[in-house]
Structure 1
């Protein structure tokens, strides 16, 4: 069971988490605010394609009524239930810190293909942006991401796909948004969830060993894997070429004895395929990843913070709220320092 926010959904009315009951009706021209209705497709025009995923194609668009830029996410044919879940979660998280804003939901009258309309973020691809970051940038953006994670967890929701591709950063305006809530799910204690979530390099060990009773702490592993790649300048940090190889890559860093302790604690039986590929590995000290190229990012607090995230045992990982209180973020909590940074100074650590 989750160490925090375990009973959020239990304490909410069923309508909050029962996304199956979501019903989006035809556009209501009179009093549109009175119902969950499809918006008007003609209000939006596609400008250019900016991305695609397993479940959608994404375009930069424009609202032709107010000329505001937006993002149009055209959903590929998937189960209605999945679409309802994403919409319900985005509605529940509306207005939360650093959560991408859902502005409208529209659909093509012929094909019935639904599209989600989001706020536009002037994102720079992480592959070109992260190498330009200084130490303060890394602290600042990880802290901003933690705000989004603590908020969604406090609302009873696991993101389940935290990775650089889903973190939009407008660096000029110091703005971060956590996007793509298509795999997000409501947390109910004792529920067995699908382990086929998250992207390989950011999958927590619990997913790789088929432990289904996971919780919000899955997102904290993914954040830890992201953080490791940022401070050690190694993208991705755990680079497996299959799900089974991903666990091997993790074991080469965290050790196999520690892995077996974890499996024993939760009475998890490892798939037979690992018999031939796992081997025995000693735990590697974090300092062994320090090079002349990355040492300016790797303070003792950074190592301590990382160590408290990348734990096999999900119950040992910091929660998002605990993570925000870690000394690594002291420079961010210094009001004058942060203000100078927001005004364009590089930030002082």
Structure 2
């Protein structure tokens, strides 16, 4: 699957000087633990709250991912034995890192938590194999790396969907509702703060198989959108790229995330990407095959500066014919509300949460196909309830509304409505997957 090139997350002229200077540099105090494993101690700053650097020790470090953005490690915190992911990216010392700035502002149950961050120097050999010429070209003593210490979550929606696809099955509709509801809830939260993720895709949706909780991750492309401030249009992985981006818009809104979420929902329902374009232009062709040719007014809404209107006139394909016959009509209707050419016509993430497709989640006693309870879904904070108050009567199940009214600062969910200790039988290495879900596949 192709995506846009990535270097660092302080592109597009985010030229704020890094002040104070790089604090929290890594302490070179590697030592051996009681079991002989290497223990690294760093001076790290907590992800949230005041800047109070503290020593943090971790061990059992191993590479679990890498790309143009940097390297991701898994490690274990010595004090708590908690597994964490450490994302290491090259830091331009002249500027603040946008990903770090954004993640320090975020605190939500459906967003991966930034536990700590620290800086390290680049005068050591690379952490992944490379030849000497690459090493000499990239590893200079004055280079500095930012390390984001994040909570570790083992699975992704992408891995789960691929597992079902290989088994020639579709994900049970209950799981789709659970995953998408939590995604929309996370989007409602960041959009209310003016933050656009700009890379919504199954690979960036983390899943905890023990609890069923979904968390949005990878804010390396995220940006606080300001009206009148221009942005790059070549953003977001291709299959999930909103049409206004393909038309070259540079003054887009957070509704590009809504389009991407619609593509994810459609993919989970279909078992494959809905718009699998081979290039930027082909991506638009795939969209037109389903939505039909956009009108001049729709193109103007997507990008007022776009003047080339030479497109073959193709009629839209009925949504009912795009999906399998047994696909719930509420799911199809929601996809149609999300995948609109005109950005302002797309529903908001919170309106998506309130959509009838998710009514089953709000019914008392509803459980997953395995019989397990859902994780907490209605523990709305006061901030969340202030985003679109007119939706609150729908978002909060009737039996819980009195509890929400009595809560102060951060309403909590009645544990009888939906517990947090559920177990989803869809871990990639779990042989019970097919048995647990086979009867639920429509």
Q: Deviations over 1:191-235 (max 9, x none)?
A: 22111211111110110001111111110000000111111222x
Aligned to 1:253: 290
Alpha-carbon separation, structure 2, partners of 1:126 and 1:113: 32
- Describe the shift of the 1:176–1:20 C-alpha distance in structure 2 as closer, same or farther (beyond 3 A): farther
Alpha-carbon separation, structure 1, partners of 2:109 and 2:254: 17
Cα contact 1:209–1:268 (8 A) shared by 2: no
Aligned to 1:105: 117
Cα contact 1:25–1:38 (8 A) shared by 2: no
Pair 1:150 & 2:193 matched: no
Alpha-carbon separation, structure 1, partners of 2:198 and 2:93: 18
Pair 1:280 & 2:313 matched: yes
Aligned to 1:117: 149
Structure 1: runs of 5 or more not aligned: 1-16
- Describe the shift of the 1:80–1:327 C-alpha distance in structure 2 as closer, same or farther (beyond 3 A): farther
Higher normalized helix content (fraction of residues) = 1
Cα contact 2:185–2:349 (8 A) shared by 1: yes
Aligned length: 321
Cα contact 1:163–1:202 (8 A) shared by 2: yes
Q: Deviations over 1:97-152 (max 9, x none)?
A: 31100111122244422211100112152443454621110011100111111111
Cα contact 2:248–2:303 (8 A) shared by 1: no
Pair 1:128 & 2:162 matched: yes
Q: CA RMSD in A?
A: 3.2
Query: Aligned match of 1:241 in 262, 275, 278?
Result: 278
Query: Aligned match of 2:344 in 286, 309, 315?
Result: 315
Structure number with the bigger relative contact order (C-alpha 8 A, sep ≥ 6) is: 1
Q: Deviations over 1:61-96 (max 9, x none)?
A: 112333211001111466864x62111110111x21
How does the TM-score come out when normalised to structure 1? 0.81
Query: Aligned match of 2:23 in 21, 26, 41?
Result: 26
Query: Aligned match of 2:84 in 57, 62, 70?
Result: 70
- Describe the shift of the 1:52–1:38 C-alpha distance in structure 2 as closer, same or farther (beyond 3 A): farther
- SS in structure 1 of the partner of residue 215 of structure 2: strand
How does the TM-score come out when normalised to structure 2? 0.65
Aligned to 1:50: 64
Alpha-carbon separation, structure 2, partners of 1:64 and 1:30: 14
